[in-house]
């Protein structure tokens, strides 16, 4: 496995198992798919919102999550660069050291949003 493949494998996990699963969870709430008692109230409250309000909540959720992912990746990079106390290895490759900045891997036309998230990068609306 090359350094690029290791970095992208990590990015794929972040995009599919964290980002996409979170957005999927929200979309299922909007559709009223959840049967768990703790989620019934959320679904009911979402059902009281109009389409524009739900769209706003969706954008807030995605923007908040993307900011959290970015800031988390930046902090991992910072800790590795200055304190040398964090390593993330994929098949033995330290991806933090191999990347020019994990937080930058999210963006661009061939970044993690574009390549691994089924929702792509959230553009301003």
Report residue 27 as tokens.
């979309």
Beta-ladder partners of 90:
93
76, part of any domain: yes
- Whether residue 3 contacts residue 94, with contact meaning beta carbons closer than 8 Å, is answered with no
53, part of any domain: yes
pLDDT in tens, 23-63: 999 999 999 999 998 899 999 999 999 999 999 999 999 99
pLDDT in tens, 63-117: 999 999 999 999 999 988 887 788 999 999 999 999 999 999 999 889 999 999 9
The parent domain of residue 25 ranges over 3-116
Question: Count of domains in the chain?
Answer: 1
This prediction's pTM: 0.90
Give the residue from 84, 54, 72, 57 showing the smallest Cα distance to 10: 72
124, part of any domain: no
125, part of any domain: no
21, part of any domain: yes
Report residue 113 as tokens.
């949003």
10, part of any domain: yes
89, part of any domain: yes
């Amino acid at each position: 496995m090359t350094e690029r493949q290791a970095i992208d494998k990590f990015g794929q996990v972040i995009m599919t198992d964290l980002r996409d699963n979170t957005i999927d969870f929200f979309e299922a709430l909007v559709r009223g798919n959840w049967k768990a008692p703790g989620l019934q109230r959320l679904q009911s409250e979402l059902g009281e919102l109009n389409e524009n309000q739900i769209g706003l909540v969706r954008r807030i959720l995605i923007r908040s999550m993307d900011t959290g992912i970015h800031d988390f990746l930046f902090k991992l990079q910072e800790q590795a660069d200055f304190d040398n106390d964090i390593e993330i290895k994929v098949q033995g490759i330290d991806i933090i050291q191999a990347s020019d900045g994990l937080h930058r891997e999210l963006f661009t036309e061939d970044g993690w949003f574009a390549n691994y998230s089924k929702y792509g990068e959230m553009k301003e609306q």
